[in-house]
Structure formats: structure tokens, C-alpha cells
Structure 1
Amino acid sequence: MSQPLLSIIVIAYDMPRQALNTLISLSPAYQQGVGTDDYEVILVENRSKRNMDAEAIARLPGNFRYFLRDEPGVSPAAAINFAFSQAQGRYIGLMIDGARMVTPGVVHYALMAWRMADDAMVVVPGYHLGENEQQFHLTHGYCEEQEQRLLDEIDWQNNGYALFDISCLSGANPNGIFHPFMECNCLFLSADVFREIGQADERFDLPGGGALNLCIYRKAAMHPRTRAFMLAGEGSFHQLHGGVTTSEVETRDAILRSQSEQLTALLGQPYRSPTVEPVLLGRVPPQAFRYLKHSVERGIHRAQRCAARNENMYADQWLKQNGNVS
């Protein structure tokens, strides 16, 4: 096999069913317009009481490499850096949360973006499966069994864009693609840029990595050699699995506060979403029209608000173009 252009890094812990769904959604049997030799998927699983079935992974079509590690801490940062050390691709994809399934055009359009611009940073919008954000799953009576029924009903492996029909927007980016994103849970960038931003900062030692995902996204978006490409018609869909910030627990507010405090300390400043203007890439299937409509409506409101305040909607983009980023 020739060296792949793209290495997709997936990190998993105590989510065997969900992570297998994620891998299936990354396989060339599901992804459209790409072949086995175009990319590899590196799965690093941190050992738990429910590890994945290595034989099931081996049976998947495609180029999958599986590593089971014994991590001393509770953060995925070290696992990300280990996976990066194994990556063969010139470009990488980051899926820190292995419970996120993707739509069938993600890999094709990521590769297309790099054919258009070597400095492309490809952003895939995030969603939660179910009618409501999963941190409210107990209030709304949503459970893994109900989620599995929804997935079975849409026959997602043969109808991947139907995931839009059984989902809702992530609370991290509730206004859609014409507002600054707080984070991206399916992010693609060059291996060189990831190396230059310091890879995954292992000082993010809170469970689940804390706000590591936000830090990586901001540093990548603000890097002088990245240009944001938004896959408006694709998505990554979070499956319920008892995640640190996607579970309905009494301590959630305290967890978010501690994550925010660590993020501010490690960044050296309070966090804000990078205001970089994305290039929209790819087709938008009918199932995603309602989200595009929502994005346009919210985007018009934001444009009017910025105009009234004489604010630049994409101030960070201007800073990058003029060589003044922080």
C-alpha cells in the first residue's frame, strides 16, 4: 500500500459500541468518493472495563490501525500525541471523542480542500443524536437503547445523511455556520500545523481532556498558515455514552467551571471563539436544509448586529491577513 495522504486520529475510552459506529462511518465502504489507499484511521483506545473487539475492527474494510493503551491519567492528550507519532499522512484528522459518527462525504471533501489549498483547515459542524442536547438526556427520557432504535430505523449505514433527521445542533455552536465556532470535534489540518501549535497540550489533565478540544481548535484557526473550510452539508454526530460534558449530572456546572479556569490559565487569556471566515465547501443534502436555513437566519441577525456596532464580523481573519495574531 502507498503512503496515505490523510491520517484520521480517533480516541476512545469505555465506548465500544459507539466507537465501532464511528469507525464504520469512517470506512471506505461508507465514505463516498474515496478509496482505501487515500487515508488511514488510527484508533487509540485507553483501557477500560469495556474494551473494543479487536477482531471486529480488523474485519472493517479500509486501513485501520488499532492501539490499546494503559494511560496513567484521565485525559486523552497523551493518546492523541501517541497517535500523531504513528501517523503517516501529510494531513491529519482529529476526533478526540470517539463517539462521533460522520456523514459520507467528510473524507472526500477534506481531501478536496487540500487539492484547492494546501493551508486548508477543514471544519465539520457538530450535532447530537436525539431531539435534545444529550446533557439533558435524563430530563427528556433519552437513553442508549432509544438512540440505537433511531439509528436502526434510518438504516444509517446505507443512508448516512439521514443522521440529520434524528439530530439537533450541538450547544457549543448553536447558531450555525455563519457564527464563530467555539470548538470542532471533527477537524482536519496539516500535520505541520498540528506540530507547530504544540500538538495536544498534555497539561490538559482533566477528565476527557477538559477544554483541550477548544484550545486545539483556536490555535489551529489562528495559525497564520490555515484557511478555514466549512463542510456545511456534512456533520459529526455525538452518540450518548456518558461523556464528561454531555451527561446530565449535578456536578456539570462545576466541571465546566474547572475546565474554563484551566483553559484560561493555559492559554494565558480568557477563551473566545476565533472569528475566521470559512470557505463553504461541498454539497448540502436536503436532510441538512433546515440547519442551513437556521444558519442563514442567525447569520443575518449577526451581520445586522455587527453593522450596527461597526464591528468586523471576521476580525480575526483580518488580523491573520495582516500578520497580527495571538
Structure 2
Amino acid sequence: MSKPLLSIIVIAYDMQRQALNTLVSLSPDYQEGVSADDYEVIVVENRSQRNMDASAIAALPGNFRYFLRDEPGVSPAAAINFGFSQACGAFIGLMIDGARMVTPGVVRYALMAFRATEDAMVVVPGYNLGESEQQFHLSCGYTEEKEQALLSEIDWPNDGYRLFDISCLSGANPNGVFHPFMECNCLFMSADIFRDIGQADERFDLPGGGSLNLYLYRKTAIHPCTEHFLLAGEGSFHQIHGGVTTSADDRREEKLQEHREQLCRLLGYPFSAPSVEPILLGKMRSSAMPFLKRSVERGIERLARFAQRGADPYVDDTQKSKHRKSDT
């Protein structure tokens, strides 16, 4: 068999049920318009008390490779770099949090973007399952059991776009797709660009990687070569699993402040969401329309604020254009 064009790296830790849902959503029986030969999925799990069932992964259709690692630290950074070392594709997808299911067009449109340009950065908007951000779930009585009931009710393996019906926007992009995102939990780029940004910086050593995801997204988005493609009609949907920043925790704000301080220290400057204007790619399914409506309304408000100040709403794009011109 020839090498796949795309390698999707999924990192898991202590999320057996949720990660298997994610892998099902990445299988060629679920993804539309692609074949098993187009891509591979590399699953890297750091050992916990609830490891995944290797036989269940092996039974999935498609090209799945599973690695169980004994990780001495508490960050996924080393696991990401290990997964990248195993990747065969010229392009990669990163899912640092393996508890994120995706809609059925994600792989098809990611491959379409790479066929348009090898410098594509493909961004899938993030959502949370449930009616509110997940750090508030426990106070609202939302549990894993209720989430499983919701998923069963919509029969998601047979219509993945119904995930929109039981979800809300992620706290990382609460204003929708026409505002700059802080992060992306389903991100695609060329293997060369991932190498060029230094891969996953293993100095992000806090539990869950701290703000590694924000760092990787910003470094990729402001890379002078990347072309930003946004799959506005697709989504990655976070399942409740007791994550470091998505749990009800009295120390949550303290932890987030620690994350912010490490992020700014390793970036070398204060963090801001990268302001790059996306190329919209893919179909807009009816289930996603309510989120598109909110996105348009908030996007118009944002542009009006910038116009009133005489400011550049996509300053990082402007800087990238200047860099390209100076190179020529």
C-alpha cells in the first residue's frame, strides 16, 4: 500500500470511552468522500488507570496505529512528538485532546485544502457537548451519563452533523467563526511547517500541557507561509472527561493563570489570538446554521469596532504579507 497523504495524531489519557468515540468519528465508514488509503490515524496513549482497549481500536475500519506509552511527565507534548515521529503523511492533523469527536466532512475538506496548497493550515471550529461550557457542567447537573444519553438520542454515528444539535460554542471561540480563535483542537498543517515551528515544545510541562495548544495554534497561524482554511460547517466536539481546564475546580482560575504565565514566557511576548482572515471551505449544513447566524452578527460587530478605531482587524495577516513581500 502507498503511503497515506495525511497522518492524524490523536493523544489520549484516562478517557477510554471518549477517545474511542473520537476514533470512530475518524474512521472511513463515518468520514464522507474519503477512502481508508487517504489517511492514517496514529493514536498515542499515555498510560493511566483506564487504558483503551487495543482490540477495539484494531477492529475499526481504516488505518489506525495504537501506541501505549509510559510517560513520566504530565504533559502530552512528548506524546505528540512521538506520534509525529511515527507519521507517514506529508501532512498532519493534531488532536491533542483525544476526547473530541468530529463531523463527517473534516478529513475530506482537509485533504481538499492540501490539494489546493501544501501550505494550508486547516482549522476545525470547537464546540462543547451540552448546553454550557464544561467547567459549569457539574453545577448544572450534567454528567457523563447524561452526555451518553444525548449521544444515543441523536444516533450520531449515522448522522454526525446532529452533534451540533446538542452542543454549544467552545470558550476558545465563543463568538463564532468570524472572530479570531484562541486555539484549535483539530488542526491540520504540513509536516514541514510542524517541524519549522519546532514541533510540540516539551517545555510545556504542566498537567494537560498547559497552554501548549494555544502556542501551537498561534505559531502555525502566524507562520509566514501558512494559508488559513476554516471548515465553518464542520466541528470538533468536546466530551466531558474531567480535563484540566474543563472541570469544575476551585483552583481553576489559579491554574489558568499559571498556564498564561508559562505561555507568555515561552512565546517571549504576551499572547493574543492570531488575527488571520480565513478562507472558508466546505458545505454549511443546516444543523450548523444557528452558529453561523451568531458568527455573522458578532463578526459584523467586531469589524465595526475596528473601523471606528481605524485599526486593522487582521493585523497578523498584514504582517505575514509584509514578510512575504520582503522575501521576494
What's the TM-score once normalised by structure 2's chain length?
0.98
- Say whether residues 1:221 and 2:221 are aligned partners: yes
Query: Could you tell me how far apart the structure 1 residues matched to 2:272 and 2:214 are?
Result: 9
- Say whether residues 1:110 and 2:110 are aligned partners: yes
Once structures 1 and 2 are overlaid, which stretch shifts more, 312-321 or 58-67?
Answer: 312-321
Query: Could you tell me how far apart the structure 1 residues matched to 2:76 and 2:120 are?
Result: 25
Give 1:138 shift.
1.1
Question: Which deviations, in whole Å up to 9, do the C-alpha atoms of 1:194-246 show, x marking residues without a partner?
Answer: 00000000000000000000000000001011010000000000000000000
Q: Residue type of the partner of 1:34?
A: V
Q: Residue type of the partner of 2:171?
A: G
Query: Could you tell me how far apart the structure 2 residues matched to 1:194 and 1:256 are?
Result: 26
Match of 2:143 in 1: 143
Which SS does the other structure have where 1:282 is aligned? coil
Q: Residue type of the partner of 2:132?
A: N
Match of 2:175 in 1: 175
- Say whether residues 1:166 and 2:166 are aligned partners: yes
Give 1:116 shift.
1.3
Give 1:118 shift.
1.7
Which SS does the other structure have where 1:150 is aligned? helix
What's the TM-score once normalised by structure 1's chain length?
0.99
- Say whether residues 1:24 and 2:16 are aligned partners: no
Give 1:141 shift.
0.5
Query: Could you tell me how far apart the structure 1 residues matched to 2:86 and 2:300 are?
Result: 44
Query: Could you tell me how far apart the structure 2 residues matched to 1:317 and 1:265 are?
Result: 24
Query: Could you tell me how far apart the structure 1 residues matched to 2:55 and 2:138 are?
Result: 34
Which SS does the other structure have where 2:42 is aligned? strand
Give 1:23 shift.
0.2
Q: Residue type of the partner of 1:161?
A: Y
- Say whether residues 1:287 and 2:303 are aligned partners: no
Give 1:68 shift.
0.1
Match of 2:267 in 1: 267
Q: Residue type of the partner of 1:186?
A: C
- Say whether residues 1:73 and 2:47 are aligned partners: no
Match of 1:303 in 2: 303
Unaligned runs of 5+ in 1: none
Q: Residue type of the partner of 2:168?
A: C
Match of 2:128 in 1: 128
Q: Residue type of the partner of 1:63?
A: N
Query: Could you tell me how far apart the structure 1 residues matched to 2:179 and 2:222 are?
Result: 16
Match of 2:93 in 1: 93
Query: Could you tell me how far apart the structure 2 residues matched to 1:114 and 1:200 are?
Result: 22
Question: Which deviations, in whole Å up to 9, do the C-alpha atoms of 1:112-163 show, x marking residues without a partner?
Answer: 0111122110000000000111110111110000000000000000010000
Query: Could you tell me how far apart the structure 1 residues matched to 2:315 and 2:223 are?
Result: 14
Unaligned runs of 5+ in 2: none
Q: Residue type of the partner of 2:248?
A: E
Query: Could you tell me how far apart the structure 2 residues matched to 1:98 and 1:146 are?
Result: 20
Question: Which deviations, in whole Å up to 9, do the C-alpha atoms of 1:62-87 show, x marking residues without a partner?
Answer: 00000000000000000000000000
Match of 2:42 in 1: 42
Match of 1:248 in 2: 248
Match of 2:11 in 1: 11
Identity fraction in percent: 72
Which SS does the other structure have where 1:93 is aligned? strand
Give 1:312 shift.
1.0
Which SS does the other structure have where 1:213 is aligned? helix
Match of 1:276 in 2: 276
Give 1:22 shift.
0.2
- Say whether residues 1:321 and 2:299 are aligned partners: no
- Say whether residues 1:203 and 2:186 are aligned partners: no
Question: Which deviations, in whole Å up to 9, do the C-alpha atoms of 1:167-207 show, x marking residues without a partner?
Answer: 00001110111111100000000000000000000000000
Which SS does the other structure have where 2:247 is aligned? coil
Query: Could you tell me how far apart the structure 1 residues matched to 2:184 and 2:69 are?
Result: 25
